[in-house]
Amino acid sequence: MDIAVVRDDMVDGIEQRASLDETVSQAMRTVPRHEFVEDRPYDNRPSEFEGTRVLAPGLAARLVSALSVDSEHAVLVVGVGVGYTAAVLAELVGDRQVHAVDIARPLVYEARRNLDRAGYGGVLVDCRDGADGLPEYAPYDRILVEAGAVSPPRRLLRQLATDGRLVMPLGGGGREQTLVAVADDGDEGEVVAEFGGVRFRPLLVDGEQHGARRNRTDREDAEFARQGYFAPTGWEQEWIDWDEHL
């Protein structure tokens, strides 16, 4: 089986339903999705991995198209998952121009491995609360949030470059949301474009990720965790205050 032909068939099927920018189409025809998804990687369908939803290729194409990146842009991906969308963006702007975060450490490790195998090892992937972004490398020309929220996280908006845009699903988790592009207006953000309905899981904060006890914080230092130096249940913390994260 010629993988390149199968990839072309996948993108051709997506383009039958919606027009794709030529650069996005070419990037998706280049990125080896089988390095990110093992089971039927070139089917246009979502899947599950480690408690997270792996986006269908068609939805990933919608997100990347909404970002409207060019080759000079620096990009942040919030909710990297298995790393496929970050790889498509790396194909468009160069891997060292793409940064990504995820709240789940197993996904961070998985995304790093997948990206390295696929030839995009320069993408920086870190374990962070997505609403905090990655301020050390800001500003970003484009920020993509692969999770829903009722309003754009303010800390992410402040990490946008002048004339930058943040793309995310806006609306409550579990219900119909709207994929929007948002500009930083110094306040709550201004919606500058809409791209139709979507349905994403909500943006999580520490204590809500898969495999963690609610209202607990796991020690981030993996080396000490393996040694068993710290208590396995972590430390008590106050109930999550969403206002501090959005």
Q: What is the pLDDT along the chain (246 residues), one digit of tens a residue?
A: 699 999 999 999 999 998 899 999 999 999 999 999 999 999 999 999 988 899 999 999 999 999 999 999 999 999 999 999 999 999 999 999 999 999 999 999 999 999 999 999 999 999 999 999 999 999 999 999 999 999 999 999 999 999 999 999 998 755 689 999 999 998 889 999 999 999 998 887 654 455 443 333 333 334 334 444 343 444 333 444 555 655
Cα–Cα distance measured from residue 57 to residue 73, given in angstroms and rounded to the nearest whole number: 22
Nearest to 124, CA basis, from 148, 145, 94, 149: 94
Quote the tokens at residue 246.
């959005």
Quote the tokens at residue 236.
């008590």
Cα–Cα distance measured from residue 95 to residue 147, given in angstroms and rounded to the nearest whole number: 22
In order of 32, 87, 155, 188, the CA distances from 246 in angstroms are 35, 27, 8, 9
pLDDT of residue 144: 98
pLDDT of residue 173: 59
In order of 5, 45, 131, 185, 215, the CA distances from 147 in angstroms are 31, 18, 10, 22, 20
Quote the tokens at residue 78.
């919030």
Q: Report the sign of the C-alpha dihedral through residues 61, 64, 68, 73, in that order.
A: negative
